[in-house]
Amino acid sequence: MNPNRRIKTAVLGATGLVGQEFVRLLADHPWFELALLTASARSTGLRYAEAAAWAVPGEMPRLARAMEIVPCSARLLSESGVRIAFSALPAAAARGVEAGLRAGGLAVFSNAGAHRMDEDVPVLIPEANADHLGLVRRQIASHGGFIVANSNCTASGLALALKPLEPFGIRTVVVASYQAISGAGRRGLSAFDIAANVVPFIADEEEKVERESRKVLGRLDGAGIEPAPFAVHAGCARVPVRFGHLLSATVELGREPAPAEAEEAFVSFRSAPQDLGLPTAPERPVIVRPEEDRPQPLRDVHAGSPERAQGMAVTVGRLRRQGRFLSFFLLVHNTVRGAAGTSVLNAELALRRGLIAP
């Protein structure tokens, strides 16, 4: 794409951890231009370098440093020629703001939970349910623009790992999570509470994992999305790790897989983003580690190639079979594949599918 013709984008809530990941991914994106940054009122008017305490890998992109934080208004975005908004807004703010931008004709790719369970909003993970993107045509008809949600960070990893197992028939999913402190945001978790401890509670997380992974793997028909017909039982806990949500999963399948069959299903899994060569798509969405002690957050969180797709692959390891039950560990980068990265990938898919005028 002609770099002079890149599509202008805005990052809403650009100073938090997920906002920073958006900035990192968009600063040199081949199709998108990082044109506007918004944040809360107390940051408005500051340079991004002053407003954001950079905490994701690498240095703050030079381009972003000097950008001025602006208030989040549909009019301002439109007048600036922005056609895509990436939202890292907190849940409370997101609902109204995102709907307003949609009404203003924008394409909103959101990491917030506000609209995920709306009937006409897809919870999109392009490798798992690219067809759900069709839902947005209904939104365009009603609202002018549209919202595409990505799922909760933990559900993102789980859904991506379940997708290749669909041919075996998924009956029941039991999952326990070991979630990184970055998932609570830069200041969301007190050091005193989690240091050398595990806290087996994350507000609403288990419900989100259960609900959203079933929606992602659900079936789109004329009436909307029918959730996948299996039960999910999730237990979610916070551990003193910085980045990377690890999951211990046990899946009851409809038939017993042959010895290497499940592993082969993971390894060979490719989907729309790979076929279309989307810029942020990992070559292999699911990486299987053969070692006896992987995946580990510290070692595997950045899995994914090419370089632009680091953190976009989920890593699976320690596959064990017991009859029709398959158990494994799974690691997902919570602020990349579980948040900003999937949103960017969603936008790339929407552009390719012609839902955003180039």
- The C-alpha atoms of residue 170 and residue 151 are separated, in whole angstroms, by 20
- Residue 133's contacts (CB-CB under 8 Å, 6 or more residues apart) are 122, 124, 148, 346, 349, 350, 353, 355
- Cβ proximity to a copy of itself: between 207 and 275 the closer is 207
Q: Are 151 and 239 in contact (CB under 8 A)?
A: no
Single-letter residue type at 269: F
Query: Taking CB under 8 A as the criterion, which residues in 65-124 touch a copy of itself?
Result: none
Q: Work out whether 4 is an interface residue with a copy of itself (CB under 8 A).
A: no
User: Which residue bears the tokens 């997708």?
Assistant: 163
- Segment lying near a copy of itself (by CB under 8 A), choices 99-107, 114-122, 185-193, 213-221: 185-193
Q: Work out whether 49 is an interface residue with a copy of itself (CB under 8 A).
A: no
* Cβ-count burial 13-48 (b if 16+ within 10 Å, e if not): bbbbbbbbbbbbbbbebebbbbbbbbbbeebeeeeb
Among 39, 102, 50, smallest CA distance to 72 is for 39
Q: CA 357 → CA 2, 6, 194, distances in Å? A: 15, 11, 46
- Segment lying near a copy of itself (by CB under 8 A), choices 103-111, 119-127, 192-200, 257-265: 192-200
User: Which residue bears the tokens 């060569």?
Assistant: 277
Single-letter residue type at 228: A
- Segment lying near a copy of itself (by CB under 8 A), choices 78-86, 93-101, 144-152, 295-303: 295-303
- Segment lying near a copy of itself (by CB under 8 A), choices 66-74, 154-162, 256-264, 312-320: 312-320
- Cβ proximity to a copy of itself: between 5 and 187 the closer is 187
Q: Work out whether 140 is an interface residue with a copy of itself (CB under 8 A).
A: no
Per-residue DSSP letters for 210-249? HHHHHHHTSEEETTEEEPPSSEEEEEEEE-S-SS-EEEEE
Q: Work out whether 200 is an interface residue with a copy of itself (CB under 8 A).
A: yes
Among 142, 8, 155, 159, smallest CA distance to 86 is for 8
Q: Work out whether 52 is an interface residue with a copy of itself (CB under 8 A).
A: no
Q: Work out whether 182 is an interface residue with a copy of itself (CB under 8 A).
A: yes
Q: Work out whether 250 is an interface residue with a copy of itself (CB under 8 A).
A: yes
Q: Work out whether 260 is an interface residue with a copy of itself (CB under 8 A).
A: no
Exactly one of 193, 204, 226, 275 binds a copy of itself (CB under 8 A); which one?
193
Q: CA 193 → CA 176, 178, 306, 321, 350, distances in Å? A: 20, 15, 37, 36, 41
Exactly one of 248, 267, 274, 319 binds a copy of itself (CB under 8 A); which one?
248
Exactly one of 181, 309, 344, 349 binds a copy of itself (CB under 8 A); which one?
181
- The C-alpha atoms of residue 154 and residue 151 are separated, in whole angstroms, by 8
Q: Work out whether 224 is an interface residue with a copy of itself (CB under 8 A).
A: no
- The C-alpha atoms of residue 217 and residue 125 are separated, in whole angstroms, by 9
Q: Work out whether 323 is an interface residue with a copy of itself (CB under 8 A).
A: yes
Q: Work out whether 138 is an interface residue with a copy of itself (CB under 8 A).
A: no
Give the residue numbers annotated as catalytic, written as ranges: 153, 245
Exactly one of 1, 49, 55, 103 binds a copy of itself (CB under 8 A); which one?
55
Q: How far is the CB of 331 from a copy of itself (least distance, A)?
A: 9
Q: Work out whether 38 is an interface residue with a copy of itself (CB under 8 A).
A: no
Q: Site residues (CB under 8 A) for a copy of itself?
A: 17, 55, 174, 176, 178, 181-182, 184-201, 206, 231, 233, 235, 237, 239-242, 246, 248-250, 292-299, 317-318, 320, 322-323, 325, 327, 329
